[in-house]
Amino acid sequence: MRGCRDPPGERERVSAATLKPDGFAQGVAGIRVPPVIPPESMKDLIPRLASSMSAPQRDVKATVNDVKRADVVVRGAALAASVLLRGSVDLKQK
């Protein structure tokens, strides 16, 4: 699992469970879980969310220039994925 890192204390927790941490990591390395929101969709999603925050007194616009998958970590029974976004947010008072 490229880009993955153990959360603090995770290696010790796995060791205490009598699992070999490296063997466990190799065992789950091939698992592919599709994200709920594909990272590539952020280019369209973020500008839509920003414009939905516009109001009669303000205009909100966002632009996403680049999207990169960052990393994935295991948090308890859940997976958490990080995405790096580059772009801008414009706020204008009307």
The string of pLDDT tens digits covering residues 47-59 is 999 999 999 999 9
User: Where are the alpha helices (H) located in the chain, listed in sequence order?
Assistant: 10-16, 21-28, 42-52
**pTM, full prediction:** 0.56
Token pair of 16 as six digits: 């205490």
* Domain ranges within the chain, ordered by starting residue: 10-93
pLDDT of residue 20: 63
pLDDT > 70? residue 76: yes
Rounded to whole angstroms, the Cα distance separating 63 from 47 reads 6
